[in-house]
Amino acid sequence: MDAASRRSCHFVALIILGISPILCFAGGASKKCDVFSGSWVFDQSYPPSDYSATCPFLRSEFDCQKYGRPDRHYLNYRWQPSGCNLPRFNGVRFLEKMKGKQIMFVGDSVMLNQYNSLICLLHAAVPKSNISAPYQTHYVTFQDYEVTVTYLWSHYLVDVVEESFGRVLKLDSIRDGGDRWKQVDVLVFNTGFWWYAKGNGKGWDFVQDGNTIVKDMDRTTAMAKALATWGRWVDSAVNTTKTRVFFEGIFPTHYRGNEWGKPGLRDCSRETVPVAGSRYPGGPPSIAGVVEGELRRVKRNKRVHFLNVTTLSHLRIDGHPATYNGAGGGMDCLHWCVAGVPDTWNQLLYLFLLA
């Protein structure tokens, strides 16, 4: 497909569990384009909206510019799929399309990253509109469009219940959030990092699988069982004629330089450019296959959009706050600068919502 054809493409989502290609129509012909396969290209016209200094909702732990990051080139990279171009994010069109709807992000603190990016992108598009944002909540309403965007914290998606003997991670139970989830129009889920947490920080003391309660178990197996529970919840509780369901791929970390060809590095602090090309030298995280495998098991009559952002994020070794954050200055190669890579995750969400 030549450059002229790529520029004139219209995008239609082809929803397949586990894989989400795009059909790109140009000149009457159609060609599949995997929007998650490509590379990062430097583009002086990016970012379309640098809202870092103007977004009132930007969290300090993601605000790399405010906390002294000296370079800005990480903002100038655009995701370029191998066989097509992505439409730029248009906040006004997004709000018009979503008028009267509720969008909820459910997951860990990297999902909070994406939520923060989206509300800042929308604010940049309509800075003078009426916006309701109750203090210290993850709940923003763009009142002129009746669009509400929320974030709900859930490390594991399944329940963690306080029992008399301790906190129990229940791999076959979704009661805590399920009722709230199914009331909204767009759901975006993730899980991953916390399944391998250790010590008290993991947020539970025991794991329950059916009637069996143990102190711990293989974490990959536990994650697979929890995702199977989530899949059953989607099958039984979600009306996909009303609610659109998305699941994000695994969000990578960058603490091992040998993964990107720099043995000896133990963090991302020296990185200012993405990994070149379309493949991450260290390969995908081992748990990425767990997510894809479980998503394929969701019943085919339930439409789940898999936003497979793992590889494109893996390539962005330069996209993290490192020490340029308002969270005490610790080394952070887990979360992402906002503005930055999360804007591309939302650009892809925008593509699928508007398709």
Residues with catalytic function: 109, 332, 335
Question: CA-CA distance, 350 to 194, in Å (whole number)?
Answer: 27
Peptide bond connecting 48 to the previous residue in cis, omega within 30 degrees of 0: no
Number of other residues whose CB lies within 10 A of the CB of residue 114: 25
Q: What are all long-range contacts of 267-272, with beta carbons under 8 Å and residues at least 24 apart?
A: 267/322, 267/331, 267/333, 268/317, 268/318, 268/320, 268/322, 268/333, 269/322, 269/323, 269/331, 269/333, 271/317, 271/318, 272/71, 272/73, 272/74, 272/318
CB 273 within 8 A of CB 320: no
State the burial class of residue 155 (Cβ atoms within 10 Å of its Cβ: 0-12, 13-18, 19+). Answer: buried
Annotate 40-101 with DSSP letters as a single string.
EEE-TT--S---TTT-TT--GGG-TTTTT----GGGGEEEEESSS-PPPP-HHHHHHHTTT-
Question: CA-CA distance, 47 to 184, in Å (whole number)?
Answer: 30
Question: CA-CA distance, 261 to 300, in Å (whole number)?
Answer: 40
Distant-in-sequence, close-in-space partners of 98: CB < 8 Å, separation ≥ 6: 145, 147, 185, 186, 353
Name the strand (E) or helix (H) holding 352: helix 341-354
How many CA atoms, within 13 angstroms, populate the side-chain half-sphere of residue 133?
Answer: 17
Alpha-helical segments (H) within 199-325: 219-237, 288-296, 310-314
